[in-house]
């Protein structure tokens, strides 16, 4: 590096001893310090401020229970994921027509990136669809006192039938997922069922019938393997999905008590629980006998689901967003079908029992500027008109009972979930630990990932899952969450 | 220095220094402040907990593991990138067969120089997608497809590159090195071209081979560039956030079972997912101290007498 500066003596006074190379090196060293931490630090830097101007409140009346003010503004942030955000735009247009409230619409995938600074600065939006990979965890927001208790909305008269409370027009149990410390602080709007999925076409071709017991399930896996395809596929890069299968088996085998033991962080939730032991051993049998689709442990959700769409595996685990997510890769004659988890011997719940519940949490920040508008917006979300708008635009069901006009035609997968929900009746269950304890959920998912890769055995999995539960139980905050 | 010149210089420096203090120094101080609290990240309410976060940090196996992974990267990324880049640069500039009239690169060196630079043009996000396809864990992956065709791996049990605790770090290392070699090749090439040819020619006359002229002439005269490269690669090694968080399993990456965790991924998970932001700030402070130590150490350890030419 023959540079001209090297030819002059460096200490001629004017450069104060800093040669060009030194300068480069020093700035490089500074870069070394600042680059990795910079982006993080900028997130840390806080704004203060906490103003609660209530200039958006109008008169209350029977048809306007929260006092929405004509001409006010509503700041709406929607997670623009698998469901898009067209449904929300349709709602906003309808909202403006009815109340004269203009909405400021933001559709984004970066919920945390866009909203965390606003929550910290005390300047959050009025209503948020807090979902997706970058959602701000509800438990974290709740612990920070950032969420409105939604009881007021739920106890208000329903738009469709003012004689009824909003709460009574919803599918029972769907509010549970939004509970924190005994209060409903998030409205999980979309009705979802979880379990296994298969292709009606593939099953017809192979002459298989949908299995009801674990033995039948293993038989089909065995035949699939003999035919050169995988038995069970899962979205290995995200162990959340295989946990759906494991946890469903635990709940169906041990009944609701086994599920509650986990949510309530009991010392025998996993270790010493017969249901958990049987369930994990059953899943491990699939791994041990080589019934997994080859390579599935390392695939992303789209990769493995697409393989399944190509008939490379008989079953896959997922929730009912699967059909909408795979619209483009599913062959027309695929005939997607939902299947409740098959039963192990001596199960406490019937085969028809399914994990069902609500997802896609909508929240109202406690420091929202237009609280009245946000509450009314949420009340209208739970009307038949808006629920139908949602089904049309986003291809999914909402938590409103009979919430879709009969004119709307459903796709085969969605149709099969409707039938499964009907067959299940009141036999539905839903874990809450994933909403309450993100850290414990992650630890169990890690263990499941190791189990599927055969790096640990069922006994070790139980130990690790129990350790995660015990660790969470030590956190004094966890005392506030309990379900009976 | 003439009178008033200091004031003149200070006038120019004021704005940059003010910006630097506001956007770099002040956040550092704030982070240190937050690291002494139980801040949960979504509001301005928190309690002072003293050094609890720091004591917890050093008992956190995941974070300690992450530090080791960073140190591993810190050793292997610069070493392998610089060695490969140096080798290629030497071959392109002085590795050709000696013809009459002096020293030149291997045949087609101009073409190679362009090709080697290609990876540097890609953003890290594209690299992650690209290598996601290379390392894909079933027969559809490039490596697995190749190994299955060659009969080295059975179709029913392909290698899950990014899901193997003993492979994942090395798989990531290959990506970084592949990405970096082109840039440092160009850097070293430029430096090599400024080495006077007569030195090589004199060495040739004295009967020096390629290896000798590399170790006795090229390397000593390139030392400044190598040192700069080392510091820059240190930045990449201490960070690694983008690649780890996009390519490996788990929220913010780090899987399988924390085997590819780096400090930045643990910090982000605690900060955003678990809502343990005060704790994450303590991690940030530890990262700062470690990077300071590393950079001082790097500059000290590589200090050599400078050769002027």
Mutation target for B interface from A28, A148, A312: give the one with most B CBs within 10 A.
Answer: A28
pLDDT of residue B98: 55
Q: What is the pLDDT of residues A428-456, one digit of tens each?
A: 999 989 888 989 999 999 999 999 999 99
* Cβ separation A1–B267 shorter than 8 A: no
Q: What's the sign of the alpha-carbon dihedral A113, A114, A120, A125?
A: negative
* Cβ separation B194–A143 shorter than 8 A: no
* Stretch among A27-31, A460-464, B173-177, B278-282 having the lowest mean pLDDT: A27-31
- High-pLDDT (> 90) share of chain A, %: 62
Which residue ranges form the domains of chain B, and what is each CATH number?
53-301 (1.10.3720.10)
Taking one residue from A and the other from B, the number of pairs with CB-CB distance under 8 angstroms is: 212
* Cβ separation A137–B275 shorter than 8 A: yes
pLDDT band at B282 (very low <50, low <70, confident <90, very high): very high
Residues contacting B275, CB < 8 A, separation 6+: A137, A139, A140, A143, A144, A438, B40, B41, B42
pLDDT of residue B307: 63
b or e along B136-151 (b: 16 or more beta carbons within 10 Å of the residue's beta carbon)? bbbbbbebbbebbeee
**Cβ contacts of A28 on chain B, cutoff 8 Å:** 228, 231-232, 235
* Cβ separation B1–A38 shorter than 8 A: no
- High-pLDDT (> 70) share of chain B, %: 94
What does the angle CA A130 – CA A133 – CA A137 come to, to the nearest 5 degrees?
Answer: 50
pLDDT of residue B214: 83
**Cβ contacts of A297 on chain B, cutoff 8 Å:** 137, 160, 163
Nearest to B217 by CA among B299, B112, B309: B309
Q: What is the pLDDT of residues A221-266, one digit of tens each?
A: 999 999 999 999 999 999 999 999 999 999 999 999 999 999 999 9
Burial class (CB in 10 A: 0-12, 13-18, 19+), A392: middle
Q: What is the pLDDT of residues B149-161, one digit of tens each?
A: 999 998 888 999 9
Q: What is the pLDDT of residues A378-387, one digit of tens each?
A: 999 999 999 9
* Cβ separation B31–A41 shorter than 8 A: yes
Give me the DSSP letters along A417-459.
HHHHHHHHTT-EE---HHHH-HHHHHHHHHHHHHHHTTSS-HH
Check pLDDT > 50 for residue A7.
Answer: no
* Cβ separation B235–A36 shorter than 8 A: yes
pLDDT of residue A32: 45
Mutation target for A interface from B163, B165, B196, B306: give the one with most A CBs within 10 A.
Answer: B163
Nearest to B257 among A139, A303, A450 (CB): A450
* Nearest-neighbour CA in chain B from A58: distance (Å): 28
pLDDT of residue A82: 73
* Cβ separation A450–B31 shorter than 8 A: no
Nearest to B138 among A122, A141, A295 (CB): A295
Mutation target for B interface from A18, A39, A44, A47: give the one with most B CBs within 10 A.
Answer: A44
Cis status, amide bond into B256, omega within 30 of 0: yes
Averaged pLDDT for residues B201-225:
84
pLDDT of residue B268: 92
CA–CA distance, A325 with A241 (Å, rounded to integer): 15
* Nearest-neighbour CA in chain A from B289: distance (Å): 9
Mutation target for A interface from B256, B259, B303: give the one with most A CBs within 10 A.
Answer: B256
CA–CA distance, A362 with A382 (Å, rounded to integer): 12
Residue in chain B lying closest to A226 (CA): B156
Burial class (CB in 10 A: 0-12, 13-18, 19+), B172: buried
pLDDT of residue A47: 40
Instruction: Please give the residue that has the higher pLDDT: either B294 or B244.
Output: B244
Residue in chain A lying closest to B196 (CA): A2
Mutation target for B interface from A243, A295, A366: give the one with most B CBs within 10 A.
Answer: A295
pLDDT of residue B291: 85
Instruction: Please give the residue that has the higher pLDDT: either A376 or B292.
Output: A376
State chain A's mean pLDDT as an integer: 86
- Bridge-partner residues for A68, per DSSP? A57
Mutation target for A interface from B42, B141, B257, B258: give the one with most A CBs within 10 A.
Answer: B42
pLDDT band at B96 (very low <50, low <70, confident <90, very high): low
Residue in chain B lying closest to A444 (CA): B257
Nearest to B288 among A33, A50, A300 (CB): A33
What fold characterizes domain A73-184+364-405? D-Maltodextrin-Binding Protein; domain 2 (3.40.190)
Averaged pLDDT for residues B296-304:
77
Residue in chain A lying closest to B166 (CA): A455
Q: What is the pLDDT of residues A60-115, one digit of tens each?
A: 787 888 989 888 999 999 998 878 888 999 999 999 999 999 999 999 988 988 99
Q: Give the torsion through C-alpha atoms of B48, B51, B55, B58, to 10 deg.
A: 110
Averaged pLDDT for residues A257-284:
95
* Nearest-neighbour CA in chain B from A296: distance (Å): 7
- High-pLDDT (> 70) share of chain A, %: 88
* Cβ separation B44–A48 shorter than 8 A: yes
* Cβ separation B42–A141 shorter than 8 A: yes
CB atoms within 10 A of CB A309: 18
* Nearest-neighbour CA in chain B from A234: distance (Å): 13
Domain ranges for chain A: 73-184+364-405, 193-356+431-480
* Nearest-neighbour CA in chain A from B215: distance (Å): 17
pLDDT of residue A30: 46
Residue in chain B lying closest to A366 (CA): B43
Check pLDDT > 60 for residue A26.
Answer: no
CB atoms within 10 A of CB A65: 18
* Cβ separation A236–B296 shorter than 8 A: no
pLDDT band at B102 (very low <50, low <70, confident <90, very high): low
* Stretch among A222-236, A269-283, A293-307, A423-437 having the lowest mean pLDDT: A423-437
* Stretch among A6-10, A103-107, B71-75 having the lowest mean pLDDT: A6-10
Check pLDDT > 80 for residue B91.
Answer: yes
Residue in chain B lying closest to A37 (CA): B284
Nearest to A1 among B30, B34, B191 (CB): B191
Under DSSP, the state recorded for A132 is S
Check pLDDT > 60 for residue A315.
Answer: yes
Nearest to B243 by CA among B176, B306, B309, B167: B176
* Stretch among A198-207, A466-475, B106-115, B149-158 having the lowest mean pLDDT: B106-115
Q: What H or E segment, with its residue span, contains residue A359?
A: strand A354-363
Domain formed by A193-356+431-480, architecture: 3-Layer(aba) Sandwich (3.40)
Check pLDDT > 90 for residue B66.
Answer: yes
Averaged pLDDT for residues B87-116:
74
pLDDT of residue A402: 80
Q: What is the pLDDT of residues A351-364, one digit of tens each?
A: 999 999 888 999 99
* Stretch among A26-30, B107-111, B133-137 having the lowest mean pLDDT: A26-30
pLDDT of residue B216: 86
* Cβ separation A50–B42 shorter than 8 A: no
CA–CA distance, B66 with B245 (Å, rounded to integer): 13
pLDDT of residue B1: 54
Q: What is the pLDDT of residues A162-210, one digit of tens each?
A: 999 999 999 888 898 898 988 999 999 999 899 999 999 999 999 999 9
* Cβ separation A40–B268 shorter than 8 A: yes
**Cβ contacts of B138 on chain A, cutoff 8 Å:** 293-296, 298-299, 303, 307
Averaged pLDDT for residues B210-225:
85
Averaged pLDDT for residues B30-52:
88
CB atoms within 10 A of CB A143: 20
pLDDT band at A144 (very low <50, low <70, confident <90, very high): confident
The two structure tokens encoding residue A289: 């006998």
Give me the DSSP letters along A273-289.
-HHHHHHHHHHHHHHHT
Instruction: Please give the residue that has the higher pLDDT: either B192 or B94.
Output: B192
**Cβ contacts of B195 on chain A, cutoff 8 Å:** 2
Check pLDDT > 90 for residue B134.
Answer: yes
* Cβ separation B274–A438 shorter than 8 A: yes
Averaged pLDDT for residues A38-45:
41
* Nearest-neighbour CA in chain A from B40: distance (Å): 7
Residue in chain B lying closest to A141 (CA): B42
**Cβ contacts of B278 on chain A, cutoff 8 Å:** none
Averaged pLDDT for residues A131-152:
89
pLDDT of residue A61: 80
pLDDT of residue A314: 96
The two structure tokens encoding residue A360: 């896609």
State chain B's mean pLDDT as an integer: 87
* Stretch among A387-396, A429-438, B234-243, B287-296 having the lowest mean pLDDT: A387-396
pLDDT of residue B304: 66
* Cβ separation A293–B138 shorter than 8 A: yes
């Amino acid at each position: 590096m023959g540079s001209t500066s090297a030819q002059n003596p460096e200490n001629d006074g004017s450069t104060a001893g800093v040669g060009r190379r030194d300068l480069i090196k020093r700035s490089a060293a500074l870069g070394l310090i600042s680059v990795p931490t910079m982006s993080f630090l900028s997130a840390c830097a806080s704004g203060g401020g906490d103003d609660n101007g209530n200039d958006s409140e109008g008169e209350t009346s029977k048809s306007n229970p929260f006092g929405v003010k004509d001409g006010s503004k509503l700041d709406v942030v929607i997670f623009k994921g698998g469901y898009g955000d067209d449904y929300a735009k349709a709602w906003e247009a309808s909202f403006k027509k009815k109340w004269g409230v203009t909405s400021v619409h933001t559709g984004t995938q970066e919920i945390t990136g866009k909203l965390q600074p606003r929550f910290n600065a005390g300047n959050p939006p009025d209503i948020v669809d807090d979902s997706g990979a970058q959602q701000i965890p509800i438990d974290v927001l709740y612990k920070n006192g950032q969420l409105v208790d939604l009881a007021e909305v739920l106890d208000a008269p329903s738009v469709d039938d003012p004689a009824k409370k909003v709460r009574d027009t919803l599918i029972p149990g769907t509010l549970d997922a939004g509970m924190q410390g005994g209060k409903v602080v998030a409205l999980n709007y979309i009705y979802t069922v979880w379990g296994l999925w298969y292709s009606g076409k593939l099953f017809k071709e192979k002459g298989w019938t949908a299995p009801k017991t674990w033995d039948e399930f293993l038989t089909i896996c065995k035949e699939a393997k003999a035919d050169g395809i995988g038995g069970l596929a899962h979205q290995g890069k995200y162990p959340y999905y295989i946990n759906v299968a494991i946890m469903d088996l635990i709940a169906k085998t041990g009944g609701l008590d086994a599920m509650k033991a986990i949510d309530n962080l009991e010392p025998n939730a996993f270790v010493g629980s017969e249901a958990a032991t049987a369930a994990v051993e059953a899943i491990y049998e699939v791994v041990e006998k080589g019934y997994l689709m080859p390579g599935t442990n390392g695939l992303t959700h789209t990769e493995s689901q697409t393989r399944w769409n190509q008939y490379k595996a008989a079953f896959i685990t997922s929730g009912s967003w699967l059909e909408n997510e795979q619209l483009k890769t599913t062959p027309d004659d695929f005939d997607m079908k939902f299947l409740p988890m098959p039963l192990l011997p001596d199960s406490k719940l019937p085969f028809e029992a399914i994990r069902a519940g609500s997802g896609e949490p909508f929240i109202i920040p406690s420091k929202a500027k237009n609280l009245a508008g946000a509450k009314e917006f949420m009340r209208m979300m739970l009307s038949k008109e808006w629920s139908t708008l949602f089904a049309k635009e986003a291809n999914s069901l909402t938590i409103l009972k009979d919430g879709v006009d009969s004119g709307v035609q459903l796709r085969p997968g969605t149709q099969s979930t409707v039938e499964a929900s009907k067959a299940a009746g009141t036999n539905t269950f839903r874990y809450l630990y994933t909403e309450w304890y993100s850290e414990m959920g992650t630890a169990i998912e890690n263990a499941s990932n190791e189990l599927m890769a055969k790096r640990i055995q069922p006994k070790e999995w139980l130990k690790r899952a129990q350790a995660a539960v015990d660790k969470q139980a030590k956190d004094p905050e966890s005392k506030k969450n309990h379900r009976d | 220095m003439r009178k008033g010149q200091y004031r003149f210089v200070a006038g120019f420096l004021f704005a940059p220094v003010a910006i630097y203090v506001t956007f770099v120094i002040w956040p550092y101080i704030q982070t240190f402040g937050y690291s002494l609290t139980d801040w949960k990240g979504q509001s301005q309410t928190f309690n002072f907990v003293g050094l609890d976060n720091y004591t917890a940090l050093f008992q956190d196996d995941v974070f300690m593991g992450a530090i080791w992974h960073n140190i591993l990267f810190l050793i292997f990324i610069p070493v392998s990138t610089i060695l490969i880049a140096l080798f290629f640069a030497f071959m392109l500039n002085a590795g050709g067969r000696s013809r009459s009239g002096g020293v030149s690169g291997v045949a087609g060196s101009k073409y190679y120089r362009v090709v080697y630079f290609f990876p540097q043009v890609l953003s890290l996000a594209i690299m992650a997608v690209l290598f996601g396809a290379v390392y894909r864990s079933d027969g559809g992956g490039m490596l697995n497809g190749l190994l299955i065709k060659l009969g080295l791996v059975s179709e029913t049990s392909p290698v899950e590159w990014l899901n193997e605790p003993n492979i994942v770090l090395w798989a990531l290392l290959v990506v970084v090195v592949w990405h970096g070699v082109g840039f440092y090749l160009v850097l070293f090439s430029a430096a090599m071209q400024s080495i006077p040819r007569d030195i090589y020619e004199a060495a040739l006359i004295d009967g020096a081979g390629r290896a000798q002229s590399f170790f006795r002439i090229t390397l000593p005269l390139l030392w400044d560039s190598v040192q700069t490269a080392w510091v820059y690669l240190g930045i990449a090694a201490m960070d690694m956030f983008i690649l780890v968080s996009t390519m490996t399993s788990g929220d913010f990456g780090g899987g399988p079972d924390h085997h590819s965790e780096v400090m930045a991924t643990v910090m982000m998970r605690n900060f955003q997912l678990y809502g343990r932001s005060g704790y994450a700030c303590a991690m940030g402070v530890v990262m700062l101290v470690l990077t300071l130590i590393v950079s001082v150490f790097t500059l000290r350890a590589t200090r050599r007498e400078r050769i002027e030419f």
